[in-house]
Structure 1
């Protein structure tokens, strides 16, 4: 969309024009289609695929805006290497976005994962405005511009040139100050999404905005607004403050056939993740005595299937080569496969390896500490275990050599290592949150779905060093989004340490990551526990060092947890099709293939 002044615009009432808003979200440093974890071409289109589709759609329409909704800089080995200084400026994602011609963007929670200095340095190279309305410095000054007003030359239906002023505001989850407390504490403060958006939208309209679009790095959640609401799209739409919303954060796709929108009269798109989709909002405007108003609107998603854009491929060649050299650095060897296909139904060697690495690191750091005599446990969750990531989103490392890419595959996030002091009561509460991953199962019935599809696998903490059983016939203590829905005895049974039942007043140390230690994932027990130790080293670096030191690895699944028996009852566990390459493991766990889901997951029957 042109930015230079055109000839004097005709301002007759009744004139019409259409604005096309294209949007991406949650690209997570997926620049090319390459899968760096597998060291091979992948299926996710990345920004290079999106760029091809953008150019195609621009060629077929007037008055096109291109916006990004954040979580852009983190989420792949390329993003990690850029943060470590291994690529240089400009950041390859920012350079590519400049080339594609983005008009504006916001930042998401993961863009803060590497700290404020990195964030500011990378954003400084953007040739488009990057806005954020609900994150401020401690003195109240905005961390980034809260909004921008794009004054654009547009073309009306009758071919006459017009001027349109489009306000863009951005908002991010206020929980960033908890999730990245080690990097952000004392440096920023956050404000609620809806209130911030309303205030900034009003400012934009006072400045003459004809339209206001919210880049809302937040998903679909509760209908009612509340302090600290993480997924606030519904109350934001209901507020009437904005004319269109680009949603994100939860990696879902919207609209869908079951939820075509609009939401409270507002067009909303949520374009998936990793470049899977490009969102499109069409706004039909008509001029009347009060200026431009929206007459009709429509939202849709384009699934990205175009080949990579040649300009982006050329532009990213050097950083791609640097990333390949980085991920191929050898670390060691494993004599057993490391996979997560069954990590939500049984103990997992891959998680056990991470627990071994973090426990060993914590013991060294705790040497001489006054609390080092306390039992040390390790809480680890499977980050790649299907879900919204799809049937191919699993870790599947064969026996053999291990390199940097394998450590990144096992531990995808740049969280740092932390140690908490917890009570036995805290541990039980922690595990009840984990046990909410499962649907409530009715005894004596067959074919029941085991996993709650809304529950994220990265919240399924297995606490190594304990033993316990999970009763899936009991109601879950919390919903998938962490709200308490049941206050009864819960699902955790026979909780023990070294064969002795855990009492509420027992005391332990738990090594975990910085996200969980701050209560990330709605783990209240972690949030209110005492922080004993906070390392600046990432868990992934801890894991890589352990692999190099302890190879050859012979990881085995610790006997930590299992389901309580439910005679005469079978459930369906959905996993990736790659599980079929691990038939011996499937047989040992009692899993029997039982067809395929519509999404392409392998359905497996499991007798409880």
Structure 2
């Protein structure tokens, strides 16, 4: 009887983070693929039987990747340069892979020395659009591992329809079930790995639902109901998880390159058949780990031109457009939020708009604005969409936003459904062009106590053209009242570019608030 130890390493939700930098301030932070590269090389030196997989959301998320797409894309994608150098075995398509459009994604796939996997995103012929649903990896002593790639099928709820035209997104759970059965029968692997760009919809210990069961995350159900999975790699939710569900080892390695998932499997041979005798899922956080200089050298030119671009002056602010307290900026009309809504209305040529503060680290604009200030405040490559909706839809959307707040002992706090298990501050919208009041002492669903347009109550059956980002217009963030509404106009430029253009044209902008909305309790 003999045994073999296999190491499976997973990165996920790197979101373009290579260098340990906060691009908004250029301060050093303990994350990034440059640090993860050190761990990968250490683990490989310890065990030749190492499998390395990226689980998606790789090519989007930092000014470096944004500037590459915008101005430098005649070269190889810097994220692919690094994954090639680190000899990844496979990568899975994440939802943010589509954010820059199909041309950028297809170029990245073409440049890769490793296969990309996604069994459930199908082309017009009904086949996986990148050709490979799974791969086999041969290890020492004839051990054979199968890797199946699956992606959350919820993407059409968020993505620009043009970027996913002609694709079908099959149910991730059903696709996983079908392919695991087929791979087990056809390939008879010793190890069946599922790499799923999705997360968990239930508490890992109790199985109690932790979110609305939309199908966006199905990891718990996959572990509970699909036989034959030896390991589930997950992502998408940006959580730090390592454990077992129904005996299946699982990991989810945080986000932005803060950690790498590691699962150690021990296989024992009995009667010419390898079986898994032990498994150990864990996370390795890279905060204290040194960067791998040879990896950073490969992309230093991309970083240099990005930094130069970020420091370009754009214009000036008269007044105060900085954010000191993000909660206060969501309770009372704020100049930054009003400004972004103004830009959206100006570009779209409509009189009603909504937007959000995406996170709690947004600082707003200083007196002298650079490109760095814009990309650190508007962090997503959103485009704008004008949709035609009813007064009833507006009221329902406002009630969804009003559910963001809770009142405890007279103090305003954030509803845990917007913070746990993943912070979703970006799902609280603030509107311009209409007047409204939230009374958050009232029950959720009955908090909009005033809603008017130019002094007249908004009528439920009237129609209004509203500009918002493409994620929201598709119903993202549980704004189902917007889904499948008539699209009046698409504005294909990235929002950060639209903001930069708006400021460049004027040179100077003014911090103003018309106080068209407020929150009371």
Matches within 5 A, 1:137-536: 137-154=123-140, 162-205=141-184, 206-222=186-202, 229-238=215-224, 239-255=226-242, 261-289=243-271, 291-305=273-287, 306-335=289-318, 336-339=320-323, 341-342=326-327, 343-363=329-349, 376-385=351-360, 394-397=361-364, 399-439=366-406, 441=407, 445=409, 449-452=413-416, 453-454=419-420, 456-477=424-445, 490-536=446-492
Pick closer, same or farther for the CA change 1:545–1:277 going to 2, 3 Å. Answer: same
Q: Aligned equivalents of 2:331 and 2:263: distance in 1?
A: 41
Equivalent residue, structure 2, for 1:88: 74
| Cα deviation code 1:565-605 (max 9, x no counterpart) | 3xxxxxxxxxxxxxxxxxxxxxxxxxxxxxxxxxxxxxxxx
Question: CA distance change for structure 1 residues 356 and 416 in 2, over 3 Å: closer, same or farther?
Answer: same
How far the C-alpha of 1:447 sits from its partner, in A, is 6.0
Contact 1:429 1:525 in 2 (8 A): yes
Distance (Å, rounded) in 2 between the aligned partners of 1:87 and 1:329: 20
Q: Which of 103, 117, 133 matches 2:103?
A: 117
C-alpha contact (below 8 Å) 1:33/1:43 kept by paired residues: yes
After superposition, the C-alpha distances for 1:323-347 in whole angstroms (9 at most, x for unaligned) are 1122222211123233362333332
Tell me the distance in 2 between the aligned counterparts of 1:149 and 1:506: 53
Which whole-Å deviations, capped at 9, do the CAs of 1:268-295 have from their partners, x for residues lacking one?
1110101111111111222223722222
2:115–2:132 CA contact under 8 A, matched in 1: no
Cα gap change, 1:317/1:185 in structure 2, threshold over 3 Å: closer, same or farther? Answer: closer
Distance (Å, rounded) in 1 between the aligned partners of 2:364 and 2:356 = 17
* Matched residue, 1:9: none
The structure showing larger relative contact order (alpha-carbon pairs under 8 Å, at least 6 residues apart) is 2
RMSD: 2.2
Indicate if the aligned counterparts of 1:106 and 1:170 stay in contact, CA closer than 8 A: yes
Q: Encode CA deviations 1:66-95: one digit per residue, 9 max, x unaligned.
A: 111100000111111222241433210111
> Whole-Å Cα distance in 2 between the matches of residues 197 and 516 of structure 1?
28
In structure 2, what is the Cα distance between the partners aligned to 1:504 and 1:469? Answer: 17
Deviation at 1:470, TM superposition (A): 2.1
- Identify the residue that residue 5 of structure 1 maps to in structure 2: none
Count of aligned positions: 505
Q: What TM-score do the two structures reach when normalised by structure 2? A: 0.91
TM-score by length of 1: 0.79
Matched position secondary structure for 2:136: strand
Unpaired stretches in structure 1, ≥5 consecutive residues: 1-13, 155-161, 256-260, 367-375, 386-393, 478-489, 566-608
Counterpart of 1:23?
10
Moved more, 63-72 or 447-456: 447-456
Give how far 1:353 is off: 1.1
Query: 1:241 offset after TM fit, Å?
Result: 4.0
For residues 435 and 240 of structure 1, what CA distance do their matches in structure 2 show?
42
Which residue does 1:588 correspond to in 2? none
> 1:457 Cα shift?
1.0
